[in-house]
Chain A
């Protein structure tokens, strides 16, 4: 019995930091409508700076002073980020905001390693809370008890701040109607900046308070952000009380999940999240959001099928690509195969995102599931390659069918957070369930059969499948299903009013996209000869997003170009520098702020401008078009 009580208390102690970070995210989202992906990064910097300060400053005051000082320092960094980056993208579609803050996260991950090194850092114990308290033979660290008390205290302080101060009243008013607050003479800019500072302060405080409990390391940002997303999805984005209740819930589920499913403890959290989403899609304490237009781009030009000339050009490009083995060596052909596979991956996400208006942040899950599907079939069942290639993607299909069902209940940022959380869950299973997936060691020795073994043959196989997939998805855009899907994207309400079963259409699109990604993953397994948990990781999901964005979100098939350019650049970059995340993160922010239309989008715009002279400027920097009265 005592053991369970201690386990419960450990859960409560973990909830404190989770609550701090989640409430910060919620407060920022409430006012700015930005889901700050970089929140995990601020949490991590908080921990690192607190580590350095506690090493330098001594004594009890030194420790506690360091914690607060670290959080304040990170809040200042947050203010700079807000003024330099976020102010430029407040009016951008949410996809761009998520990507820009993700780019920032990538940069921070490399910067942290540059400054503090790659090793785990073990921080000091908190003065006065070094020992443990004996509870019927079980030890409870006294610092855990401190954290258990701290959580409700912070909740109380935040409550007072929002209910009893003018600032709090203004923030709550702005959460509801930003323009009206401005029309009453309040300077929104500084309100936003101050809200962002408070939110970042909370995240950094959460990180700083972790140092006596956990080692500080450079991957702690992604771990916390996934948990935080789960917390705000359960608790309701924008609700501080919701963040508190959900943080406790998730922490307890983690604490006890280990006892029930030691290998895959995260399953329990997932089941609870799924249950909450079915009953209250907007979270336990959240409010349903009005359905907004969900087009992920800025302005979608009317789409049209290719003209016969353009078809010939595409065919010619394909023929040229197919002639690559005539003059290229083995290395180049392997790179070519990889690019072709990533074209498949990118167009599958593009279909979901641009045609369906559903920006998935966890699309790699289905790519990786396809790869694992092949690995299971080839290694365990020993099936021939062609059968594996046909059946392997079915695992991606099944994953998409299950997760997609829940994901399409939501939209916008909730959809993005949920897909990310799902992908992370799949990743955790692949990572933790060593007996089946091999864990971190992966599954090795998946080699293609003779007929596809030579680099040129495999290249032709990959290229052929990529072309087929691209044409098929493009055809679907201009088929009745595509029209229905685009209708749900442009207006869910109106599409339902004309008899479209929107959720089913979106679910179908999700499954199609997931299966297609699985096809890419299946080929990828054979290309690499192995499968690892990274094949379903967040960074691969973000690669796909960047490929689509680079090609042009608003185009019909820009992802093809995006994938080719991005993958080629990426392979080259990784061979040139160790700081690829830093460069990639900066690159993502640059596209979002300066070239939001992507390569194909820019070309289309230039072509249009030649036809009629209307220079529309960067729409990101202008205010959005208000709805007419």
Chain B
């Protein structure tokens, strides 16, 4: 298994947010984490990369327990994270944003260079010196993914990549994610949009009120319209 999450519990102050979350991601797999707004998708991701202080449980990445490590060490193991809010450095240019994400080459992961990323996201290549703050939402979404890929991750946590984007950009995003998969990057993608998830994912988990309530292939999910209707708004 590429990534195994077991009994993950997280708190924000006195509030218990995640309850015994568990899921697995295989080598080269794309797994969707589906759920409504506030179900706990982003908190799950933030907990995995150590951005939530109060968390417990086991997170095995490539056979190593990373649950006690600080954020930057987890990321350096090759576990990339793309936040939902994009969090572009608005004062930095596109190239400088990519530079912040740059990490050395890794054995078991595809190696990304600026040129390769500009080929994947042609829009970015046309605005290398533009400050992040003066880019459209779609361009920022591409930049945040490209920035994480500069770290040469072998697995990427993608938090709601289609949120707030125009249909045309969403199509580009699907292509980009499929390219990443073809290159050999494992991906966990959190989504509210089942249609988008279906285009890219091998398997899916459904999260509701901080608990995993379904796990299976996309076909298995389609066979259970009751679950789909109960936990996902279409």
Contacts and interface: CB of A to CB of B under 8 A. Distances in A.
Given A169-B100, A176-B89, A176-B91, A186 B72 contact: yes
A166 interface: yes
B148 A184 contact: yes
A185 B103 contact: yes
B105 interface: no
Contact of A166 (B49, B72, B81, B99): B99
Given A176-B90, A187-B72, A628-B15, A181 B51 contact: no
Interface stretch (A148-156, A395-403, A453-461, A618-626): A618-626
B12 A626 contact: yes
A220 B88 CA distance: 42
A183 B51 contact: yes
A559 to B, nearest CB: 27
Nearest to A168: B96
Interface in A492-536: none
A169 B52 CA distance: 26
A600 B52 CA distance: 31
Given A172-B91, A626-B12, A626-B53, A180 B83 contact: yes
B24 to A, nearest CB: 23
Given A173-B100, A623-B53, A629-B38, A185 B151 contact: yes
B12 A173 contact: no
Nearest to B40: A629
A188 B73 CA distance: 11
Given A185-B76, A628-B15, A177 B43 contact: no
Interface string A160-185: 00000010011011011101111111
A623 B43 CA distance: 16
B87 A180 contact: yes
B169 interface: no
Nearest to A183: B81
A183 B74 CA distance: 9
A184 B91 CA distance: 17
Contacts of B43: 628-629
B12 A177 contact: no
B53 A622 contact: yes
Nearest to A179: B51
Contacts of B72: 182-183, 185-188
Contacts of A170: 100
A177 B97 CA distance: 12
B117 to A, nearest CB: 14
Nearest to A176: B89
Interface residues of B, number: 35
A625 B99 CA distance: 30
A172 B92 contact: yes
A182 B71 contact: yes
Contacts of A622: 53
Contact of A625 (B12, B51, B87): B12
Nearest to A166: B99
Given A169-B100, A622-B53, A629-B38, A183 B89 contact: no
Contacts of B76: 185
A197 to B, nearest CB: 19
Contacts of B83: 180, 183
B92 A184 contact: no
B210 to A, nearest CB: 11
Contacts of B49: 183
A172 B99 CA distance: 12
B147 interface: yes
B136 to A, nearest CB: 19
A55 B151 CA distance: 51
Contacts of A186: 72, 100
B135 interface: no
B53 A183 contact: no
Interface in B75-113: 75-76, 81, 83-84, 87, 89-92, 96-97, 99-103
B147 A184 contact: yes
A185 B152 CA distance: 11
Contacts of B148: 184
Given A628-B15, A628-B43, A180 B52 contact: no
B89 A172 contact: yes
B201 interface: no
Contacts of B90: 176
B194 interface: no
B127 interface: no
Nearest to A181: B100
A60 B115 CA distance: 50
A172 to B, nearest CB: 6
B69 to A, nearest CB: 12
Interface string B189-220: 00000000000000000000000000000000
B89 A173 contact: yes
Contacts of B70: 182
A183 B156 CA distance: 12
B13 interface: yes
B100 A626 contact: no
Contacts of B99: 166, 169
A177 B87 contact: yes
Contacts of A188: 72
Contacts of A173: 89, 92, 96-97, 100
A20 to B, nearest CB: 24
A187 B76 CA distance: 10
Contact of A628 (B17, B75, B103, B151): B17
8 contacts: A169-B92, A176-B89, A179-B71, A180-B83, A181-B100, A185-B75, A626-B51, A628-B43
Given A172-B92, A183-B49, 20 more contacts: A169-B99, A173-B92, A173-B100, A176-B91, A177-B89, A179-B51, A180-B89, A182-B70, A182-B71, A184-B100, A184-B147, A185-B101, A185-B103, A187-B72, A188-B72, A623-B53, A625-B13, A628-B17, A629-B38, A629-B46
The 7 closest A-B pairs by CB, nearest first: A623-B53, A185-B75, A625-B13, A182-B71, A629-B42, A180-B87, A173-B100
